[in-house]
């Protein structure tokens, strides 16, 4: 792979001239990407830096994947409006179990260097204390999310202020030449350069990559926001979620999540189906995308009802439809009423457009919400 291709899609690079020279020299670089196991699933947003890590790997460089089992217990404050509850060691260990298998769907794990940052952060307290004395509190509090939270009077824990230093020290421990991350990680990545310099090392080059918006089309794909498409989603679920993504995100999804070019002259529905087939096939194997598409057409495009829909247990008797939607996971009654008025809710296959309707609950009644959710009601 040409070195110039490795820089494609980067939002910012520090130091770009230095990185270009290093790539042109033929030097084999140590390219770092770190991820905290804060939940069991990786999602398509994570694959943007993972795919870039694989590109460096395919070009002959060393992929260094850091699993932040130590830092996950603190919680990265990036883009958080409040303090994240600390995870227990047991929670982190449970989440960690699936991470490597999921990352292995993108990165060649047989050639990658896999490290856990508890290796050094659990046993380097004297060196870390010396490092902390060289970094000022003013530097840490300059990060945008901290400044925002302070202006709003929202708490910031002392552990959160230490997080960037811990992540920066990871770069020292693995002798990183390059670090990858999303644009929401810019402060942490640049802190790695500062920490390396404080430790007498040449600072790493930093490449920030675009963030992917989630299924809501507005906010970045995030486990905490629930708008994510997990790598471990079943093929049919993954296909359906991609089909629900707003049309305007298609160019970005094609460019950052696949190796194919978005076709010209193809209708939005067919373009999105191509994207969904491609991504499902990438993570579930050849033919999985076509099978998921066939199921999607049978179930949703033609108004069919899936045979294997989950059961939703409700109290026997009559229930307001808007209340039933909240029970089924709709965010609020107002959101439920909107869906009903738009014709997005069906009872036993028939659209119900009256937001004040009362439904007689019986065993076996089917409830469909939008294109992706369907339940078979069961009386408690």
Q: How many CA atoms lie within 13 A of 137 on its CB side?
A: 4
Largest CA-CA distance found in the chain, in angstroms, rounded: 74
Chosen CATH of 311-379 out of 3.40.120.10, 2.60.120.560, 3.10.290.10, 1.10.150.170:
3.10.290.10
Q: Could you tell me the end-to-end alpha-carbon distance of the chain, in angstroms, rounded to an integer?
A: 60
Please state, in angstroms and rounded to a whole number, the distance separating the CA atoms of residues 34 and 119: 14
Return the pLDDT at 343: 79
pLDDT under 70 in the chain at which residues?
1-4, 75-86, 125-126, 134, 143, 157, 300-309, 371-372
Between strands 205-209 and 178-182, the pairing is parallel
pLDDT of residue 216: 85
In degrees and rounded to multiples of 5, residue 45 shows phi and psi of: -60, -35
- pLDDT score, position 76: 61
Say if residue 15 is preceded by a cis peptide, omega within 30 of 0: yes
pLDDT at 103: 95
Instruction: Name the residue ranges covered by the structural domains of the chain.
Output: 3-209, 235-301, 311-379
The CATH H-level superfamily of 3-209 is HUPs (3.40.50.620)
What was the pLDDT predicted at 177? 98
pLDDT of residue 45: 96
Tell me the β-bridge partners of 230.
Answer: 43
């Amino acid at each position: 792979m040409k070195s110039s291709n490795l820089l494609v899609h980067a939002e910012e690079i520090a130091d770009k001239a230095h990185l270009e020279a290093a790539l042109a020299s033929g030097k084999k670089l140590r390219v770092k990407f770190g991820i905290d196991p804060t939940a069991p699933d990786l999602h398509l947003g994570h694959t943007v830096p993972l795919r870039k890590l694989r590109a460096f790997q395919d070009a002959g460089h060393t992929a260094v994947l850091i699993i932040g089992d130590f830092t996950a217990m603190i919680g990265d404050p990036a883009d958080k409006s409040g303090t994240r509850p600390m995870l227990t060691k047991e929670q982190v260990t449970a989440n960690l179990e699936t991470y490597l298998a999921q990352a292995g769907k993108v990165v060649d794990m047989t050639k990658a260097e896999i490290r856990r940052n508890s290796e050094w952060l659990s046993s380097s307290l004297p060196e870390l204390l010396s490092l902390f004395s060289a970094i000022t509190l003013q530097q840490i509090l300059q990060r945008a999310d901290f400044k925002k939270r302070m202006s709003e009077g929202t708490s910031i824990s002392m552990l959160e202020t230490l997080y960037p230093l811990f992540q920066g020290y990871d770069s020292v421990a693995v002798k990183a030449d390059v670090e990858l991350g999303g644009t929401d990680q810019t402060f942490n990545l640049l802190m790695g350069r500062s920490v390396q310099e404080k430790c007498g090392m040449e600072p790493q080059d930093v490449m920030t990559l675009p963030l992917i918006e989630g299924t809501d089309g507005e906010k970045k794909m995030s486990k905490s926001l629930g708008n994510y498409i997990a790598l471990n989603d079943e093929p049919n679920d993954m296909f359906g979620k991609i089909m629900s993504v707003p049309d305007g995100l298609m160019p970005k999804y094609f460019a950052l999540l696949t190796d194919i070019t978005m076709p010209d002259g193809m209708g939005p529905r067919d373009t999105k189906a191509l994207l969904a087939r491609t991504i499902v096939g990438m993570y579930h194997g050849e033919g999985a995308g076509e099978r998921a598409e066939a199921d999607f057409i049978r179930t949703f495009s033609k108004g069919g009802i899936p045979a294997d829909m989950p059961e939703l247990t409700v109290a026997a008797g009559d229930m307001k439809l808007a209340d039933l939607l909240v029970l089924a996971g709709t965010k609020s009654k107002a959101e439920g009423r909107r869906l009903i008025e738009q014709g997005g809710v069906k009872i036993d296959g028939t659209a119900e457009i009256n937001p004040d309707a009362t439904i007689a609950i019986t065993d076996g009644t089917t409830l469909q919400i939008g294109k992706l959710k369907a339940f078979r009601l069961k009386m408690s």
